[in-house]
Amino acid sequence: MLSEFDLIKQYFQRPRPGHASTVLGIGDDCALLQPTPGRQMAISSDMLVEGRHFFAGADARMLGHKSLAVNLSDLAAMGARPTAFTLALALPEAKRDWLAGFSAGLFAIADAFGCELIGGDTTKGPLTICITVFGELSPGQALRRAAAQVGDEVWISGTLGDARLALGAYWHEQTLTPEQLALAAPRMHMPTPRVALGRLLAEGGLAHAALDISDGLIGDLGHILAASNVGATLDADALPAGPVLATQDQALRRRFTVAGGDDYELCFTAPPHQRQAILQAGLACATPVTRVGTIDALPGLRWVDSAGRALDLGLRGWDHFTS
C-alpha cells in the first residue's frame, strides 16, 4: 500500500534541476520562488475533472501532459516565460501504474518547457487535477485581453477544430477513418502550448491583445472584444482548419473552427504594420500564423465568407454551466 507521503516522494519529488527562480521546492510547508529582479510574475490555475474535461479511464500519460499543457497555454497567451508549477491532485486510489504514467507525461512536458514542480497537495477523492503555473515577463509586455485596438488585425496560431472533430468521433457524431482519428486525436489529448510564439509577440511588442482558445474561437474572441470595448469582422473561410477537419464539408469546417473547443491555439490582435514581423515570429518558432479578420469600432462579432458576404453562423462558444 502506498502512503500519501511515499506517493509524493516516489512519483512527484525529483532531484532539483536547479532553476534559478526556485529557492525551495517540494517538502516544506511552502515553496520559495525568487523572481528575477524587475520582472512581473504571471500566475494561472486550471482544473481538470474526470468525466468533465476528460473521459473516465483516459490514458494517464496523456493526461499528465494535458494537465500542464492547458496551464502553459495560459502563460503563452499572456506572453510569459514558464518557471514553476504546483499540482493539487485528488485520486480515488493510489495505483502505481497510473501514477507512473501520469508523472512521466507531466514531467516530459515540464522539462520541455523548463517548468519545475515545486509543491502541491494530494488527497483521496474523485479524480481531479488542479495545476497552478507561475511564469514571468517584463512590466508592460503582457498580452492583455483589454488591449485590442480598432484597426488591429486578428490572428490565429496553428489550426483549429481537429480536437473537436476527434471528440465528435468518440461521441459517434462523426465518422473518421482510423488514420484520420490517429491524426486528430493527439490534438485533443496532447495539446501544444504556444509558449514560444506568445513570448515573441510579447517581448517584441508585436501584438496588443491575446488569449488562448479553449472554449471555441467565437466565445473566446468575445472576451477580447468585451474587455477591449470593440467589435470584429472575421472571415469564416480564412480560419485555419486542422488537417483532418480540412477534408470535411464546409458546414462542419465552419462549425468546428468557429465553435470547436480544446484547441489551445492563440488568438491575438496586432496593428497592420506588424504583419511581416508576426509572420517572421511564426517562422522562427515553427508555428503557423493566419490573419483572419479585423477589429472594428462597432461592438459585436460579424462573420463574412471568402467573398466578403455576411454570414449568419448561429454558433456560440462552450460554457460549463449553460452548454
List interacting residues with Mg ion (CB under 5 A): 121
Number of residues interacting with ligand ADP: please give it, by CB under 6 A: 13
Site for ligand ADP in 84-123 (CB under 6 A): 87, 89, 117, 119-122
Q: Which of 15, 18, 28, 57 binds ligand ADP (CB under 6 A)?
A: 28
**Nearer Cβ to ligand ADP, position 34 or 177?**
34
Give the shortest CB-31-to-Mg ion separation in angstroms: 13
**Nearer Cβ to Mg ion, position 121 or 319?**
121
Contact yes or no for 95/1 (Cβ under 8 A): no
Give the shortest CB-261-to-ligand ADP separation in angstroms: 27
Mark 234-248 as b/e (b = at least 16 C-beta within 10 Å): bbbbbbbbbebbeeb
Counting runs of H as helices and runs of E as strands, what totals does the chain give? 9, 13
In the shown chain, the binding pattern of residues 255 to 284 toward ligand ADP, with x for contact by CB under 6 A and - for none, equals ------------------------------
Beta-sheet pairing, 300-304 with 310-311: antiparallel
The partner in contact with residue 26, picked from Mg ion, ligand ADP, none with C-beta cut-offs of 5 to 8 angstroms by kind, is ligand ADP
The partner in contact with residue 8, picked from ligand ADP, Mg ion, none with C-beta cut-offs of 5 to 8 angstroms by kind, is ligand ADP
CB-based closest residue to ligand ADP: 119
Give the shortest CB-145-to-ligand ADP separation in angstroms: 30
Q: Is 213 helix (H, G, I), strand (E, B) or coil?
A: strand
Contact yes or no for 210/78 (Cβ under 8 A): yes
- The DSSP-derived string for 224-286 is HHHHHT-EEEEEGGGS-B-TTGGGS-HHHHHHHHHH-----EEEEEE-GGGHHHHHHHHHHTT
Give how far the C-alpha of residue 220 lies from the chain's centroid of Cα atoms, to the nearest Å.
12
The partner in contact with residue 12, picked from Mg ion, ligand ADP, none with C-beta cut-offs of 5 to 8 angstroms by kind, is ligand ADP
Contact yes or no for 245/252 (Cβ under 8 A): yes
**Nearer Cβ to Mg ion, position 121 or 173?**
121
The partner in contact with residue 280, picked from Mg ion, ligand ADP, none with C-beta cut-offs of 5 to 8 angstroms by kind, is none
Options 21-29, 229-237, 276-284, 288-296: segment touching ligand ADP (CB under 6 A): 21-29
Q: How far apart are alpha carbons 204 and 229 in whole angstroms?
A: 25
Nearest to 152 by CA among 192, 218, 213, 201: 201
Cα dist from 311 to 55, 153, 235, 296, whole Å: 35, 19, 9, 17
Give the shortest CB-119-to-Mg ion separation in angstroms: 9
**Residues contributing to the site for ligand ADP (CB under 6 A):** 8, 12, 26-29, 87, 89, 117, 119-122
